[in-house]
Amino acid sequence: MLVTGGAGFIGSHTVDLLMSLGCKVSVLDNLSTGYMANLAQWDADPRFAFVGGDITKDLAEPLAAAVAKFGPIQRIAHFAAQTAVPVSMDDPVTDIEVNLAGTARILEYARRNKVAKVFFASSSAVYDDDAPVPVSEDSTARPASPYGIDKLAVEIYLDYYTRLYGLKFTALRFMNVYGPRQDPSSWYSGVISIFLDRAVAGDQITIFDDGEQTRDFVYVTDVANAVVTSLFSPKPDGAIINIGTGVEVTINEITRTILALAQSRSVVKYEPARPGDIRRSVTTMDRATALLAFTPKVDLREGLDHTLAWVRAQKSSAA
């Protein structure tokens, strides 16, 4: 099993689940936004190998290292990516190099080496800004960013590889994923990671727009479960599936919950809407239920509790 981007937020939780299921896991990651600390728990495990590698460069060496360690790669979970929508708008060329050309490198390896299944981390950013609510997989894909365009382009490549070479894949379009290990340190980080970080520090929280915009927040271990089911079950072969909870939450609600949970006195300030922000986002659950038997196990309250505990632990170990 190869996990690209396995030192990152969702990738490392997927590694945790695969390792706990007894798999042998190689992680390919250039540590541009991931951290070895996310994998420290597996360092000494003989079923785990970190092979380095950068998907924008030749991968012969790291992939050969993975094969030398555990034999031919049967399955690939592909997370390695440039993950920030605003960064892709500033620099579409780099987004193409990493998210599209880098992925093509993984797909070429998969077909030449007869990899049994590829999982691809896609995004709800492929949908039109004013897609219907809730959004289903049949809604028009008309991305509002280079990031969304490149994710959609990969989905089209996956279909092409299936038709030409019989490659088996599943692509999951993630809604707003949150949980421990999500890095709050940049302005384009996930809203929950930023707000929990500010709330614990007692710093000001900034809500863009009127806070009545909505999102579908899905906890990272639920996402990892969906990924692992995709990798091992034949049912979602060739499918593109939204992964969320089907629950629509306003930014105002999430802010109130976070402030109460953290017992924080952070001041909340409102600023104009961010350009390109969508107003409402929530997914239908039908396809995820039918093809992955997916039901989220961690509700928002419990997920926030876990994430808050992690934020506090991070802050106390940094102090």
CA distance 258 to 304: 7
Q: Which of 189, 145, 172, 175 is nearest to 244 (CA)?
A: 175
Element (H or E) spanning 3, and its range? Answer: strand 2-4
Q: 250-279 mask for ligand UD1 (x: CB under 6 A)?
A: -x----------------------x--x--
Q: Residues 123, 230, 245, 264: which binds ligand UD1 (CB under 6 A)?
A: 123
Kindly compute the dihedral angle of the four CA atoms of residues 191, 192, 197, 201, in this order, to the nearest 10 degrees: 100
Residue 203 backbone zone (phi > 0: left; psi -120 to 50: alpha; other: beta) = beta
Q: Which stretch binds ligand UD1 (CB under 6 A): 25-33, 123-131, 230-238, 240-248?
A: 123-131
Of residues 147, 161, 178, 219, which has the active-site annotation? 147
Q: φ and ψ at 76, to 5 degrees?
A: -125, 130
Q: Which is nearer to ligand UD1, 42 or 147 (CB)?
A: 147
Q: Is 191 in the site for ligand UD1 (CB under 6 A)?
A: yes
Q: Which stretch binds ligand UD1 (CB under 6 A): 13-21, 60-68, 118-126, 228-236?
A: 118-126
Q: Which is nearer to ligand UD1, 162 or 257 (CB)?
A: 257
**Which 8-state DSSP code applies to residue 94?**
H
Q: Residues 56, 94, 162, 189: which binds ligand UD1 (CB under 6 A)?
A: 189
Q: Which of 175, 128, 123 is nearest to 151 (CA)?
A: 123
User: Which residues does 113 contact at the CB level (< 8 Å), separation at least 6?
Assistant: 72, 73
Q: Which stretch binds ligand UD1 (CB under 6 A): 39-47, 202-210, 223-231, 298-306?
A: 202-210
Q: Is 125 in the site for ligand UD1 (CB under 6 A)?
A: yes
Q: Is 98 in the site for ligand UD1 (CB under 6 A)?
A: no
Q: How far is CA 156 from the centre of its chain?
A: 19
Return the exposure string of 211-234: e unless at least 16 CB atoms fall within 10 Å of the residue's CB, then b: eebbbbbbbbbbbbbbbbbbbeee
Q: How many residues bind ligand UD1 (CB under 6 A)?
A: 18
Cα separations in angstroms, 208 against 133, 252, 298, 317: 21, 10, 27, 31
Q: Is 285 in the site for ligand UD1 (CB under 6 A)?
A: no
CB of 301 to ligand UD1, least distance (A): 18
Which residue in this structure is represented by tokens 């555990």?
Answer: 70
CB of 62 to ligand UD1, least distance (A): 26
Q: Which is nearer to ligand UD1, 157 or 208 (CB)?
A: 208
Q: Which stretch binds ligand UD1 (CB under 6 A): 66-74, 117-125, 135-143, 156-164?
A: 117-125
Catalytic residue status for 219: no
Q: Is 124 in the site for ligand UD1 (CB under 6 A)?
A: yes
CA distance 248 to 279: 11
Q: Do 23 and 95 form a contact (C-beta atoms < 8 A)? A: no
Q: Which is nearer to ligand UD1, 1 or 223 (CB)?
A: 223
Q: Residues 67, 208, 239, 249: which binds ligand UD1 (CB under 6 A)?
A: 208
CB of 65 to ligand UD1, least distance (A): 30
Q: Which stretch binds ligand UD1 (CB under 6 A): 22-30, 53-61, 187-195, 219-227?
A: 187-195
Is residue 77 classed as helix, strand or coil in its secondary structure? strand
CB of 272 to ligand UD1, least distance (A): 10
* Residue 278 in tokens: 């969508």
Which residue in this structure is represented by tokens 């495990």?
Answer: 45
CA distance 152 to 211: 29
Residues that are catalytic: 147
Binding site for ligand UD1 (CB under 6 A): 85, 123-125, 176, 189-191, 194, 206-208, 213, 215, 251, 274, 277, 281
